[in-house]
Each structure stands twice: as structure tokens, then as C-alpha cells.
Structure 1
Amino acid sequence: MVFFNYLKLLIIIFGLFIPKISTLCAQDNDFINFLSLPQTHPLPITLKQVNDQSYSNNYLNIIKSDLIGYLVWSRFPVKVYIDKINYSNIDQISTEQLRINQWFSIVKKAIFEWSFYLPIVETSNIELAEIIISRTEPPLMIKNLLRKEHLQIIKAKTAQTSYKFYIHNDILLHSMMINISSNLGEISTLSAARHELGHGLGIWGHSMDKGDVLYYSSTNLLTPISSKDINTLKQIYKQPTRLGWKVFNNKKLSIGEL
């Protein structure tokens, strides 16, 4: 994948459930001029089937839109790779191995649940994946406190989602990376997987309602994907974006790995 060095994007990240928002460099307006105008993609068939009357409420008004536009997918099914490091299907395994296998099975369950509303499939080839789910602790974040010599290290508690942009066949696309800690219980892992996949599929924001999977804070409840989550996803996919469309004047871009 080829990523924008020109854009110098400090990747926007959501930690579970601590949002950390970066800024874009001064060249952003110049970069945007190379891109096509935001356009809407056809609504995925799974979202077309959602009854608007049954799913009338949403929280679209608090969903963030990047300068590129809404972070929607346009090529379906979206391919998801799950970290299989140390996974085993052998009958006689250790307690640690059981915990790893449980994490893997729970993440697969979350993917299955979201697949009813957006076409997503698991792939065993990480090179083909558009969303990668890793069984790792979220990386440390460093916050600059006014002066460079005053830095604060911030760590997302349990999980985190980030994205990158790249060009393929002159089309602007994106990829998602999800980190979910392996040190969680069964309920917390499923809650985190549902939540972060919601971000990965395009809900780049949080709900203020505890009854929604994308609620901004962790709770002791295992919340299922709600009607508001689903309708918010549908409304997002009706919005314009530059993702999935041809890039203008692509040869003039200074590009490299981010």
C-alpha cells in the first residue's frame, strides 16, 4: 500500500472509550485540491433493507467527518483479518491458549453480528485485508502539553481504532487497524470488539446513550448493536465522501510511506 507522506496525517484514533483527535498539517487544503469532490456511493443492500420507520433514531449529528469525508467503505464485502498469532485448534492446550482462542472466537462473533448490516467477511490473507484486528495492547499516545519538553503519555484502556489513506488504481481508499487487549474477560472483549468494529465500519464518533454499542464510555453491561447504531450507520452511508473515488492530478502528488 502507498500512503500519503505529503498529507503528513497524524492518524485519528479512538481508544475504548477515550477519543484522541489529531490535527492535519497546513498543506491539507492543497492536498484536498487534488481530490474529486465528495460524492455519495450506492447504499449497500444490507442497509437498504433496514426499515427507516423501525430505525428512525440516530446520532449522526455527533459523528465526525474527516476532511476527506465520511469514512465509508465502497468495495464489498469489506475484508477483515483477525490476528491468529498463537491461536491453536488442538484439544490439549494450556489455560493461556484457551484465553487466546476465546479472544479469537469472540472477535469472530462481533464480525458476524455486524455482517447483518454491512457486508463484511473474514480473510486469512492479511495482505488483502481492509480492516486488521490485532490482539495487542493499544499503543502509547503522547500528548504535548504546551511545550515540547512537557509530554504526557496517554494509554487507551482496552482497545483502539485508527485509519490510514492510500491510493490504489488512482482511487482514494482507506484501511483500518483495530487493537483489542488480550487481557480482558469474555464480556469486555465482546463489548470492545462490537464497539471498535462500529468505528471501523464508519461510525467515527460516539453515542451519548448507554443503550448503544458506540456509547462513549465503558459500562458493566454487554450492550447489543442497537437500532440507533444501525440507523446511524445507514445515515452515514448516505453521506458524501472522497473515499472510493478517482484522485485528480495524481501524478503531482508527493507520496511515500506514512
Structure 2
Amino acid sequence: MVRRRPAAMIREGITQLARAGLPTPRADARLLLAHAARMEPSGLATTRELGEAVARRYEELLDRRSGGEPVQYLTGVAWFRRIKVLVGPGVFIPRPETETVVQFALSRLMALRRDTGPAPVVVDLCTGSGAIAASIADEYPGEPRIHAVERSGAALVWARRNLEPHGVEVVHGDMADALHELNGGADLVVANPPYVPTGAAGRVPADVLAHDPREALFSGADGLDALRVLAGTAARLLRPGGWLVVEHDETQGGSAPQLLAATGSFRMIEDHPDLTGRPRFVSAVRRAQVEEWTP
């Protein structure tokens, strides 16, 4: 039986993935080898040799990744903040930039703690894989009552797998009509909705276009169609003083706050950058009295 050292296998994987033009060949090769060996990536450092069966699985994974399949779909896992999120075909893969959205949302929940106690009411709209809701459930030092809404049946499968162990209520439905029983009672509404303008498909990586669900990517000519609906739903769900936190496209640092301001439902509207300094999400506070608004 031929046995091989992990370091040599990773080097060969890096070479293959780099030749395919993939952006992160080193990280991908390491993750794929660990998956083929059925161990955590950290275990590779203390493993002297791997057998033929692992090598065959690894070669197959490298070929599929070279063909453009997302590494997260191949391993079935996306790392997000301090949790592992189960993912696969049909669900949007959570991105690192969304981690800053969660961090801000958690900070707002902590600021509201005097009013809410240890059990704030949180709504995650367009939950997808459930990464945001799962992270809040994992990190908030209390017992938040979290409700996650998803319209896509394919994505809902993954949301339930990720959220039910955390005690999060998963709702299958359109965010425009969801959770009327919570009207005026939510402390935080958070979302990563679709926000790419339909005319901007050319700047979306080819592997994202080929594999991530389009309904999780695109949202009308200006990319704000989902936010228009979401703003109305958030105004309905939030109590006065409750917070809205929504991710957006890096080109919408001006237009997303303007949209929220036009509703008359929010105050303290502010845009925020991600860790690279690009506009990434908008936050706002629900007014006590609101004006009528039609999107």
C-alpha cells in the first residue's frame, strides 16, 4: 500500500488549483485534504502519512474544485465566526463579510439588554443557511427568542439543519407576510437579503453564478428590491426603539440608507464598512411614530 505525506499532497493540490485560476488554492487544498481524510484541518499537522483511499478521494475533490464547484459544497461545511454551518446545493454560502453584520447585531442586543432582559426577540429575514441566526444563538449571553424566515424550499432544508439544534424557530414563507404574531414586538431584525443589481452579473465570480442560487444574489435593477420589502416588514415587526441591521452591496452605501430614510419609519440611520473598509451594512432604529410609506 502506497502511503503519502500530507504536506506533499497539499503542495500538489495547491499547484493544481492555482493552475485552474482559483483564488485561494492553499486554503482550499488543505480543507479538501482534511475532508478526504475525514479529519479536522488541524489534524493534518500531526498526521505522518495518508493512505491510497484518502489520496483517491482527494484527487476527485481537487478535480471537482478545479471545475468550479465551491469548496464549501464539496466539504458540506462553511466556517462562520465560531461555528460550522452545513451547506450544499440550493443554499447561499455564507461569506466572511457578513460576520461584521453579526458583530454589530450582537452589540445592539447587548445595548438593549436593560429593556429586553436575557431573552430579546430577534428576527432573521432571508435566513438562507441560517448562519446569522445560528451565530446570534451561539454567542448571545442569554436565551434570545430567534425566528428565522426563508422562502426557498431548497435553502429551508439547510436552515432547519443548522437552526433547530439552537432552538431557533424556522418559518417557511415570504418575508413580506411572515410573523404577524410578532408585530411591534421584535427587538432586532437582521438580514442578508439578495442585493446584487441584475446588470452587475458581470462582476460576480463565475463559480458563484454557476452554483449559488440566483434568487439569493440578485434583486432588481438597482439591487434594492428585497430591501424595499424588508424595510416594510421590519417597520411592522419592530417595537419602537428596536434595531434593524441589513447587509447590502458595496455600491449601496448611499442608496440603502436613503431608502430607509424615505420610509419615515426609522431614525439613527447609519451605514457601516466591513473589515476591508467597503460599505457593507446599514443600521437604523424604529421610530415611535411613523408615516405611511409605499415602496
What TM-score do you get using the length of structure 2 for normalisation? 0.24
Structure of greater relative contact order (alpha carbons < 8 Å, 6+ residues apart)? 1
